[in-house]
Structure 1
Amino acid sequence: MTGSAADNGGDGGRGHPVVRFQSFLHGGTSSLLSALPTLLVFPVYKTVFRQQIHNTPVHQAVRQLYKEGPVKLYRGVAPPLLMRTLNGTLLFGLQDTLLRQLSCSPPNAISASASSALAGFGAGLVEAAVFTPLERVQNVLQNGQNDRQLPTLKSVLARLRSQGRVRGYYRAFLPVTARNTLGSSLYFGLKGPVCDVVAGQGLPPLASSFVSGTVTSMAISLTLYPLSVLVANMQAQAGGEMKGVRACWQALWRSRQRSVVLLYRGGSLVILRSCITWGITTAIYDRQQKRSN
C-alpha cells in the first residue's frame, strides 16, 4: 500500500462495508502472524523496559532478569501479545476507514501522504484511548519491584481498579496519546513514499514493504523513544505518590543526569524489535491489501 486512493480500493469501493471490514481483518491478521517474533523478542523488550525504569546498562538488566529465572522472564507477556493483535486490527482498520472518508474531499485538496498521515493521527488517538489500560497493566507486571505485592494478574487488576480510572488504568494517558498519534501519523504518512523509493531500486513488492516498514518504524521509535521511557516510568509503579506529567519528566531527566545518551539507554534494542515486528507486519498487510484490491 502506497497511500494513494487507487491502492486503497479505488473510487468504487470506498464506501462498501466489506472493503472497510477487510482492512480491519488484514490488520489483525498481519499483527497476529507477527506475534511469534513478538514472543521471541519479548526478553529483548523486557530488557529495554528494565533499562528504561532503572537506568541500568544492558548487561546489568540481563543479569537482573537471569537471577529472576525463566518463569518470571515471560511475566507480562500476555498483554503485549493481546495488544499486538488488537492493535493491528484497530490501527490499520481505522486508518483505512478514515482515509477513505478523506479521499472523498475535492481533488487536490490534500496530498495522498498528508491524507494518510491525518488518518493515522485519528487512528492513533483512538488507539491510545483503547490500549492505555493494557499498557498500564503490562508495565506493572514487568516491573520486578511489584512481584511480591502484586504476584498475579488478578492482584494487579484489583489494585488498579481501587485507584480509580485516571490514576489506575489511564495513568500517563497524555504522553501515550502524544506518542501514539505522532507515531501513527508518521508511520502511515511515510511508509508509502519510502516504499515507492525502495521499489524504484528494483526490489519486489514484498521486500519493498518490509524495508519500508522497517526503516519507517526505526526512525519513529528513535524519535519518540523519550516518550516511551516517560510512559514506562509513570506506569511501572502501582502505588505511592502520583506526580503529573511535567513533574515526572523533570524527575526522569534528573535521574538520567540530564544526559540524552542516558535517556536513550536501550534505544538500540528498540531498533531491533521494530525491525522484526513492524517490518513483517507491514509486508503482510500490504500484500493482503493488494490481493483484495
Structure 2
Amino acid sequence: MTGNPDHKQDEEGLKDSIVRFQSYLHGGTSSLLSTLPTLIVFPVYKTVFRQQIHNTPIHQAVGQLYKEGPAKLYRGVTPPLLMRTLNGTLLFGLQDTLLLQLSHSSQNVIPTAALPALAGFGAGIVEALVFTPFERVQNVLQNGRNDRHLPTLKTVLVRLKDQRLALGYYRAFLPVTARNALGSSLYFGLKGPMCAVVAGQGLSPLISSFISGTMTSMAISLALYPLSVLVANMQAQVGWEVKGVMACWRVLWQSRQRSVTLLYRGGSLVILRSCITWGITTAIYDRQQKSSG
C-alpha cells in the first residue's frame, strides 16, 4: 500500500525548508565566528583603503594611521562587523535557496555544474542591494579627510540621509553590484571543485575547505580589485562634485598614471585579508553543513 502523495510532498517541503534554514543559520554562524579575525585584520583593511584612496605606498599609509593614533585606528569598524554576520547569513542562505529553485526548475536546460555559480550570481545582486549602504558608511568613516566635518557615525548617517539615494547611501551601487555578483558567482562556482582537488591530496575535510576558501577568495579578490578601488574612491567623500561611474573610472585611471601596478597598490594586503576571513568562514560553514547533513 502506497502512502498519500500529498503527505509525502508536504514532508519533502518541510525537509527542504529545514535544510534552507540551516544554510542561513550556518552562514551567519560562520561569519559571526570570523568577526575576531575581522577585528584583528581591520588595521590591514584600513591600510589598504588609504592606499586605494590616496595612492600611497604602504609605509606612508601606515604612517598616516600611526600619526592619527590608536583612538582613530578602529574608526569605521562597526559597519564591517555588522556586515560580516549579516552578509554570511544572507549570502550562504540565499544562494542555497536559489540553488534549490534552479535545480527544480532548470530541467536539464542549465548544466548542473553551473547552477551553484548562477545561484551565487543572484545572491550577490541581493547582497549588493542590502549592504551597499553599510559599505558607503564604512568608507566615509575610514576616510581621514572626513574626520573634521563628519566626526561621528551619527553625523555621517544624518548627512547621507539628506542626500538622494543614488548620491547618499547607494553611491556606487552599479560597481558594487558588479563586484558582488561576479565575486559570489565565482566563489560558489569554484569552491566545490577546488575543495575536491585539495581533498584528493589526502588532506582532512576541514583543511581542504579552508584552503579552497582561501585560494578561491584570493583569486576573486585580485581579479575584482580594480572594482573595489573604484567603489572606495566613489564612496569615500560626501558632497563633492558628483560624477558617474565611467567619469570616476577615468579620473581614477588618470590618478594612477594609467599604470596597472599603481591601480593594484595594496592588493597584496587584500590577499592576506582574504586568507584569514574567507578561509575560516568557508571551513566553518562546510563543517557545519556536513555535521547537520
Q: Distance in 2 between matches of 1:233 and 1:60?
A: 18
Question: 1:74: which partner in 2?
Answer: 74
- Rate the CA distance shift 1:12–1:210 in 2: closer, same or farther, 3 A: farther
Q: Distance in 2 between matches of 1:162 and 1:261?
A: 37
Name structure 2 gaps, 5 residues minimum.
1-10
Query: For 1:62-101, what aligned pairs fall within 5 Å after superposition?
Result: 62-101=62-101
- Greater Rg by CA: 2
Query: For 1:182-221, what aligned pairs fall within 5 Å after superposition?
Result: 182-221=182-221
Cα deviation 1:30-52 (Å, max 9, x = unaligned): 00000000000000000000000
Cα deviation 1:179-230 (Å, max 9, x = unaligned): 0000000000000000000011101100100000000000000000000000
Q: Distance in 2 between matches of 1:107 and 1:144?
A: 53
Q: Distance in 1 between matches of 2:55 and 2:73?
A: 19
SS at match of 1:16: helix
Cα deviation 1:260-290 (Å, max 9, x = unaligned): 0000000000000000000000000001111
Cα deviation 1:117-170 (Å, max 9, x = unaligned): 000000000000000000000000000000000000000001101112111000
SS at match of 1:217: helix
Name structure 1 gaps, 5 residues minimum.
1-10
Q: Displacement of 1:12 after TM fit?
A: 5.0
Does the 8 A contact of 1:113 with 1:193 survive in 2? Answer: no
Query: For 1:45-194, what aligned pairs fall within 5 Å after superposition?
Result: 45-105=45-105, 108-194=108-194
1:243 aligns with 2:243: yes
Cα deviation 1:210-255 (Å, max 9, x = unaligned): 0000000000000000000000000000111110000000000000
Following TM superposition, where does structure 1 have runs of at least 4 consecutive aligned residues deviating by more than 2 angstroms?
A: 11-16, 105-113
SS at match of 2:238: coil
Q: Which residue identity is paired with 1:192?
A: G
Deviates more, 1:180-189 or 1:109-118: 109-118
SS at match of 1:156: helix
SS at match of 2:149: coil
